[in-house]
Amino acid sequence: MSEVVISGTGLFVPPHTITNEELVTSYNGYVERFNAEHAAEIEAGTVKALTPSSAEFIEKASGIQRRYVMEKDGILDVTRMYPRFEPRGDDQISLMAEIAVDAAKKALAAAGKSPADVDAVICSASNMQRAYPAIAIEVQQALGAGGFGFDMNVACSAATFALEMAVNIVRAGTAKCVLVVNPEITSGHQEWKDRDCHFIFGDVCTATIVERADTATSADQWEVLGTQLATQFSNNIRNNFGYLNRSEDSDPKARDKTFRQEGRKVFKEVVPIAAAHIDSHLAKLGHHPTAVRRFWLHQANQSMNQLVVKKLIETEPTEDNAPLILNEFANTASAGSVIAFHRHRADLKPGDLGVICSFGAGYSVGSLVVRKR
């Protein structure tokens, strides 16, 4: 089989930032308004009073300090509490495709490639803007790439699952160069009115070039030694928004139509699943976790990442062997591990081993073991 490498990555960062302090000011304003409007029901015990939040609580619970978003005024508006996007006509590029093209151009430049070199595009994210036509095909057309494109969704593991697909496509000879884009506009599915999760997500888009080693020309190449995927069904992270909602005559703004999770259960169950997954993947390739120079993990929760790595190397992880980006970006769903890889790999030397791993709803876990060339 052909040797496959990651030869370039790109990152689109949205124009707006929301700090924890800004978010809390808005959220607490909403809480005060809600409690006042429902004072009688709260007193009667038919409605539960909402509890204010704090910036200190958010950082302690998650490690998050701020997040990037595509639009912030609607999110911070206590009468709205979700983004306010302008609708686009069918003759205009979609919002997801627009940010994907931006990240893709940066990844192509890093890899020393042109759109004409790309013969497959995969758009993989936790949510898709529409059912069809595929966002990937729109990105393909906007870039001027050839071949084929398709969309896929595996929640917070969407990027690593797509990278595995890209690696296999190249190894099979179906394509020589695959572009993977992960446009995560998570602000659209975030529940900004829920104290337990209103701070979790941020928007972003990553892009990765996967190609045959004998066609790669970039100075920064990472051989993909192996990929591994696993899923296990769980309702602990769920979003019921979908195209059948109308036929069910259900409320499109009901609480279950946005992100929700059982956070403690997720933490307790996913940490051992992710650690065991990485350990078994490395073992299949003849490596021990202590041989890994760097872990680029899914960026959902600081304590979760630290515990996963600690289980693997049996010592406290550091910013050097397990860098975090969620303090700046928050949880960017599938893009988090790719951002970590994009931002924190320049100092590694040829021969250094690394693991890119994501884990999330499903449950789903995806990993790539890579080696600096």
Beta bridge partners of 231: 364
- Euclidean distance between the first and the last CA atom of the chain, given in angstroms as a whole number: 18
Q: How far is Cα 166 from Cα 160, in angstroms, rounded to an integer? A: 10
Q: Which residue is catalytic, options 123, 156, 177, 357?
A: 156
How many whole angstroms from its chain centre is CA 130? Answer: 18
Output phi, psi for 172, to 5 deg. Answer: -75, -15
Q: Is 156 a catalytic residue?
A: yes
**Nearest residue to 5 via CA among 173, 230, 163, 160:** 163
Residue among 46, 48, 1, 53 at smallest CA distance from 27? 53
C-alpha to C-alpha distances, 15 to 20, 123, 238, nearest whole angstrom: 17, 22, 28
- Label the pairing between strands 260-261 and 237-238: antiparallel
The residues, ordered by sequence, that sit 6+ positions from 161 with a Cβ below 8 Å of its Cβ are 124, 152, 154, 229, 364, 366
Cα 326 vs. chain centroid, distance in angstroms?
Answer: 11
Q: Which positions are annotated as active-site residues?
A: 156
